[in-house]
Amino acid sequence: MMLAPRIPLNFFGMSFGLAGLAETWLTAAHQGHAPDTVGDVLLVIAALVWLATVVGYLRYVGTGAGRLKADLTDAVAGPFASLALITPMILAAQGLAPHAANAGKIVVDVFLVLTVLLGGWFTGQWIYGPLELDHLHPGYFLPTVAGGLIAAASAAEVGQQRLAEVMFGLGLICWLILGSMILTRLLFRPSLPAPLLPTLAIEVAPAAVASLAYFAINGGLDIFAAGLAGYGLLMVLAQLRLLPLFIPLKFTPSTWAFTFSWAAVCTVALHWIETGRPAGHLAYTYLVLAAVTALIGAIALRTLIALGRRQLLPKPPAVRP
């Protein structure tokens, strides 16, 4: 029997990043600065990529005993599994709920529950592990911080205000705890290995995703939103100092770590531009849209090239005769 190709968990970052780009375009559309069609098409593409990844991954774990457990307990790759559950919440809240409110709410709730359960399992696993400090990387934000905050935004968008507030608390407190631990590891321990360097871009995401969740719950800008923006600005500026690490990197699937992170930052920027409406605000809006679309489009194009050259999937291990 032919073995199914291995699908690494970070492949779910592709649909996650495309969903983030779709949300950026839909935000611009809701502000009257872009057509809805672009965001809707991106949501469809993200859904198809997510479905293809799920099918491929299930085929992979279904043809070998213990593969799912090995992936979930992997100290490096495990946290990326949460993206398989987080992405559908965005797709349902942004794409399904506007056209079928009840169906959108049901899908959001189902994946919200699954996200919380998986986040709880990961938290227990990290305690039970035990977990070594050097294994930490910004991808550890995904199961609980990203999961909780995106669940908050999705719940608010389908009209579940109290549930959104609960999820906001989950994501925010986990950010405060994990953020200090991850930053400690990055500051005082050896540098991340090259394949994980793109995850440093995730450092800009928590403040941005928390801002989007807060906007969805609160509906506007206030002192708390300004405080989130202040920390977010610091993390964005810190990325400039990391350019010497990023520029020499070769393309790998982990490059997709740049996509949702910067899409979230750009979506928050659109909210601030629209609220403040500085002189030339339309130019700023289109510049933000163009920049994030070019970034994610280039990564998507490079992915298609790697797929066409059969360089995207990991090579199977050599089999001894």
Q: Is the per-residue pLDDT at 321 higher than 60?
A: no
Distance CA 283, CA 236 (A): 21
pLDDT in tens, 106-152: 999 999 999 999 999 999 999 998 889 999 999 999 999 999 999 99
Q: Is the per-residue pLDDT at 319 higher than 50?
A: no
pLDDT in tens, 172-227: 999 999 999 999 999 999 999 999 999 999 999 999 999 999 999 998 889 999 99
Per DSSP, the three-state class of 162 is helix
Mean pLDDT across the stretch 70-96? 96
> Can you give the pLDDT at residue 223?
95
pTM greater than 0.85: yes
Distance CA 78, CA 72 (A): 4
Per DSSP, the three-state class of 6 is coil
Cis ω before 35 (30° cut-off from 0) = no
